[in-house]
Amino acid sequence: MIKVARTLVELHTARRELVLQHYRERHARPLVGLTPTMGALHNGHGALIARMAAECEVGIVSLFVNPRQFGPNEDYGKYPRMFGTDLALCEAAGAQLVFAPSVEVMYPEGYATTVSVAGLTETLCGASRPGHFAGVTTVVAKLLTICAPDKAYFGEKDYQQLVVIQRMAADLNLAVEIVPCPTVRDSDGLALSSRNAYLSPAEREAAPRLHQALQQLRQHFLNGETDVQRLQALGASELNCGDGPQFALEYLAIVDPQTLAPRATAQAGDRALIAARLGPARLIDNLAL
Ligand code: AMP
């Protein structure tokens, strides 16, 4: 049976028991893994958890809708919460322990510390979501401190977030390996996301064009086009080529995969990233060139 910890004491006790149990049975120190999530789990999260379970003897999943990474006009209040099915998915994917703290456990009265990464967080999603990445790095730094994993699993679906967390872990000399995991998609190419639940049937049908725009852009690159302005225009025209619901493009960028610096001329290995609104949902996706 999967264990659930809601407080720091419960987490530390359950983690210690799982580590000791492994010592007793195998006479060796187990690897501890952590997969941080905001719940409303889907098979994208499932793939991260299954990878953690394959690589670590003790696997922890955190379920916490972090208020600090939502802007004042964003969807914190209506973000989907479904603890029962989340727990079942964690267990089926092979985790041993779920950490599901309250907001008060994570940010008790008097809480005053923010962890922020400069530069990398100011462009792309950071430009339209001020404070978002500081919220993410603060909660991830806390979760890494609390759970003390050897390895932590993050999806390439949130590519900028992954790069920012790798920077934070390196800069703070955190003793954790950040493990990037490939994006899991529906059969029509749409990247799985808890926010896809906001889409109407017509919007859901249009949504794969986000991925198709990136694929078209990559195809033009592979055919020899390297001018980023032209590639952006080709990708953007693909986005709203069909009838039905239209996307409002926020950005379509080609960047250095480590520094996220924008390119004028695209090179193999660069990352193409896109963010667009479709009805009530803000969707993001990315692809390696
Ligand atoms: P979230 O619950 O949306 O904060 O996501 C928790 C973790 O799951 C993050 O590391 C995400 O990048 C990752 N993730 C979310 N969706 C996907 C997906 N479709 N494929 C792979 N990883 C994902």
Residue 44, ligand 1, Cβ within 6 A: yes
Instruction: Supply the residues annotated as catalytic.
Output: 45
Q: List C-alpha distances in Å: 20 to 34, 60, 116.
A: 18, 15, 35
Say what the pLDDT of residue 243 is: 84
CA–centroid distance, residue 288 to ligand 1 (Å):
17
Residues of the chain with pLDDT under 70: none
Q: Which residues touch 261 (CB under 8 Å, ≥6 apart)?
A: 255
pLDDT digits (tens, 9 = 90+) for 211-265: 999 999 999 999 999 999 999 999 999 998 878 899 999 999 999 999 999 999 9
Say what the pLDDT of residue 241 is: 84
Predicted TM-score (pTM) of the model is 0.98
Ligand 1 atom at minimum distance from 154 CA: 10
Residue 154, ligand 1, Cβ within 6 A: yes
Beta strands in 28-90 (DSSP E): 32-37, 58-63
Say what the pLDDT of residue 144 is: 98
Say what the pLDDT of residue 26 is: 96
